[in-house]
Amino acid sequence: MASSFFNKKSQITDLCVILETYLSNEEVSLIQKAYKLAEKAHSGQLRHSGESYIYHPLAVALILAELKLDYYCIVAAILHDCIEDTSTTKDDVEKEFGSQVAHIVEGVSKLTHLEFNSSSQKQAKNFQKLVFAMSKDMRVMIIKLADRLHNMRTIDSMSKEKQIQKAKETSEIHAPIARRLGLHSIRVELDDLCFKTLHPRKHLILKRKIRKQYGNQKKTISRIQTEIEKRLKFEGINASIEGRQKQPSSVYNKMKLKSRKFTEILDMHAFRIIVDNTNACYQAMGHIHSLYKPLPLKFKDYIAAPKSNGYQSIHTVLIGPRKMFMEVQIRSQEMDFISEYGIAAHWHYKNTDKPTEKLARNWLGSLLDIQQSSDSSIDFLESTKADLFSDEVFVFTPEGKIIPLPLRATVLDFSYAVHTSVGKRSQKATINGMEAELSTQLKSGQTVEIITSRLVKPKPSWLDIVVTSKAKSAIKAHLKENSKTELARLGKHLISDALNYQKIKINDVPKDKWEQCLIDLHCANYQELYIKVGLSEIFVAAVVNNLLKDINNETINTITINKTKGMAINFAHCCYPIPGDQVTGVLTTTKGLVMHRSNCLNLEHIKEKNAQWMEIDWKSDEKELFEVGISCLIENRSGRLAAIANTLANLGVNIENIEQQEKPDTTRLFHITVVINNIIQLNNILDQLNKLPHLISAERI
């Protein structure tokens, strides 16, 4: 107990020493008051390690004090477990320290027991709570990250199973969020602690190798630092220079990502040069490049193109004395402060216009947009993880605006990053003046121009093109809304046609009949009714029977369809129905109406399983196009497939797909999918193909 008391006394002293460097005496006194309240509230409580519980909130506050967080955040950190684990209430905290502190403490308390390693559904819901808490007050998330950092520092007191569980959770959720918020020191330590817990042997080996290499090159490193200092001083540039080693986790990730050995990692040692302003950054870079040879393609200018978390710096890899590779980072004092403290810098500057605050808010805003358009919490979690773990490329609009995007982002991702309205109307693009597909992956430095069209709308295939969560969620939202519209059109058409069969027009049904029908079938409005009919959740006959009580459950077995475009109608790929065929429609709970040829071998089995099927009198629009399969058996001679393709081209027919089936004899069988208008055109195609020499037979599949 004496040891525990000594630790507490030492910690509060250490905390106050740091706080006195940037807070007023009055604020420091109130923080000491908060400590006494927390100490009393947690009296008798112990951590897994056996030490007094107050040790933990004090350690969290110390981490935040090193980031120079404001008075409210430090007090909330000391009290963050009081509401959850003691008799202290939110009202008690508000009475002593004000509503702002109470609000932050309550926010952290709600997150205290969130587990991200449970079932995927629960994990995703908890992640949504985390994002919502961040959107309320970013300090809630910063305290949570500091809380997790101290838990990872003291993870040895947990069981091995719990250690692995916590480390995985931290590496998947907390460390990436710290990176996104620019909290560099927290992110680096979390990454290394997770690596140490999950891969203890690899961590130990790499740590020894790094220490050994540093020992061997210590004199060289000292010489480099001295040479840089002398050169910049001679050139009249005021600069401070720090040398540092890479962390084992950073080295391991590079080895894994680039499939390299330890000896092949070039920039094992790094120097950070901090100058007065932006101009001095570029001047210093020029002088250092004249001092040591820069490595080609290893230069990155994050000043001109900042990272998405506001980070700015020049990175360059140089070849120093004794052919030692080293990374040099050059930045101004303000850039250095923001790179170290990230979002926490906002409370130091007391200025909401600082880049980290704006970028963090933009990111949170995009997360909340994605949350609204996501079908489920799991969908939201997966979309957001894609953003959290992304490396970046920087591309330009024609006006010169920089758009940061994750690695492997495409032209279509760029379109949606510019604006959702641009994304959904994207027709084609140019990259550096050359035409490019929407699926083209982007590289840093490219200039992209998007050509839009009012006739274009998002397609399901676009989901396979994009990688950003913003683009994916916007495309899904559009498809979902568009699907609802098409299903509603189909449902209304089915009801209208069924009423026509009874010689009644849909508009002649009295309003009170409709209202009673909506009540009886539990639909809020006409749109919902039509969609449920289109999805076969409500049978057409049930609607008609409700509207016309004298029908006595007569089933509607025939409908007329004049146009399929704009309605949720799909065509079965087992038989490829086209206009002119006798067709049967099956209403499904996912795709709306699926049309089959009436002689389709699969249809009888489908009818047995699905009560909602009907014969269709199909009178299609002549402008509509449909896929159909043709089977061509040919002699195995060169040029035969070309002859078939030329014949189809001369007939003005587009080929959608060709598949070859091997035959044991001297023949080949091709399955060709073409796009045509109707059965008359199909018969003409088959006649022309069967006239070709060396073609044994051409027939519809």
- Largest distance between two CA atoms of the chain: 102
Alpha helices in 535-602 (DSSP H): 540-547
Q: H or E element: which one contains 490?
A: helix 469-501
Q: Which residues pair with 316 in a beta bridge?
A: 328
Instruction: Return the structure tokens found at 70.
Output: 């404001």
Q: Considering only CA atoms, which of 462, 419, 455 is closest in space to residue 439?
A: 462
**Residue with the two structure tokens 């702002």:** 100
Task: Quote the tokens at residue 508.
Answer: 């002649």
**628 within 8 A of 683, measured Cβ to Cβ:** no
pLDDT of residue 351: 45
In three-state secondary structure terms, 84 is helix
Q: Which CATH superfamily hosts domain 626-700?
A: ACT domain (3.30.70.260)
**pLDDT tens-digit profile of 182-193?**
788 888 899 999
Query: What's the CA gap between 682 and 631, in Å, rounded?
Result: 12
Tokens of 640: 């035969």
Please say whether the beta carbons of 690 and 698 come within 8 A.
yes
Q: Give CA–CA dist 207/247, Å, rounded.
A: 8
Q: What ranges in 235-344 are assigned the alpha helix state H?
A: 248-258, 278-291, 333-341
In 94-108, which positions are buried (b, 16+ CB within 10 angstroms) versus exposed (e)?
bebbeebbbbbbbbb
From 151, 149, 175, 146, select the one nearest 65 (Cα to Cα): 146
Pairwise CA distance, residues 701 & 690, whole Å: 15
Q: Estimate to the nearest angstrom the gap between the alpha carbon of 400 and the chain centroid.
A: 26
* Enclosing H/E stretch for 436: strand 434-436
Contact 147, 275 (CB under 8 A): no
CA pseudo-torsion sign 666, 668, 669, 675: negative
Crossing angle of helices 160-169/138-153, nearest 10°? 150
Q: What amino acid is encoded at 16 in this protein?
A: C
- Closest alpha carbon to 38 in 88, 73, 3: 88
Structure tokens at 521: 């079938």
- Spacing of C-alpha 491 from chain mean position: 35
Beta-carbon contacts of residue 28 (< 8 Å; ≥ 6 apart): 16, 19, 20
DSSP 3-state of 612: coil
Sorted by where each begins, the domain ranges of the chain are: 2-197, 204-349, 356-473, 477-593, 626-700
Rounded to whole angstroms, the Cα distance separating 80 from 141 reads: 12
In three-state secondary structure terms, 257 is helix
Tell me whether residue 395 is exposed, middle or buried, using C-beta atoms within 10 angstroms of its C-beta: 0 to 12, 13 to 18, 19 or more: buried
State the Cα–Cα distance between residues 579 and 626, nearest whole angstrom: 8
* Residue 668, H or E segment: strand 667-676
CATH of the structural domain 204-349, one choice from 3.30.460.10, 2.60.120.510, 3.20.20.80, 1.10.3720.10: 3.30.460.10
CB 568 within 8 A of CB 591: yes
Residues ≥6 apart with Cβ < 8 Å to 249: 191, 192, 194, 195, 196, 203
Ranges of the chain with pLDDT below 70 = 1-9, 110-136, 214-216, 257-260, 262-268, 308-309, 342-392, 549-558, 565-566, 589-591, 610-611, 662
Asked if 124 contacts 377 with a C-beta cutoff of 8 angstroms, the reply is yes
Q: Which of 287, 292, 282 is nearest to 327 (CA)?
A: 292
CA distances from 634 to 630, 655, 700 (A): 13, 18, 15
Instruction: Tell me the backbone φ, ψ of residue 602, rounded to 5 degrees.
Output: -80, -15
Burial label for 296, CB within 10 Å (0-12, 13-18, 19+), is exposed
| Domains 356-473 and 626-700 are alike in CATH topology | no
In what helix (H) or strand (E) does residue 195 lie, and over which residues does it extend? helix 184-198
- Domain 356-473 CATH superfamily: Beta-grasp domain (3.10.20.30)
Main-chain phi, psi angles of 135, to 5 degrees: -65, -25
The C-alpha atoms of residue 394 and residue 250 are separated, in whole angstroms, by 23
In this prediction, residue 346 carries a pLDDT of: 58
Tokens 């052919």 belong to 323
Kindly provide the residue ranges of all beta strands, DSSP E only, lying in 297-408, ordered along the sequence: 300-301, 314-319, 325-332, 392-396, 402-406
Q: Which neighbouring-strand residues pair with 617?
A: 560
Q: How far apart are CA 668 and CA 267, in angstroms?
A: 58
Distance CA 699, CA 679 (A): 13
pLDDT for the residue 126: 55
Tokens 């926490």, located at residue: 344
In this prediction, residue 239 carries a pLDDT of 92
Q: Give 615's strand partners.
A: 558, 584
**CATH number listed for the domain at residues 2-197:** 1.10.3210.10
> What local confidence, expressed as pLDDT, does residue 309 receive?
65
Q: What is the pLDDT of residue 590?
A: 63
The dihedral over CA atoms of 400, 404, 408, 411, expressed in degrees to the nearest 10, equals -40
3-class SS shares of the chain: helix, strand, coil, % to 5:
55, 15, 30
Q: Which residues contact 535 (CB under 8 A, 6 or more apart)?
A: 487, 491, 587, 588, 589, 590, 592
The Cα–Cα gap between 241 and 273 comes to: 5
**Residue 1: predicted pLDDT:** 32
Q: Which two tokens stand for residue 366?
A: 């995009």
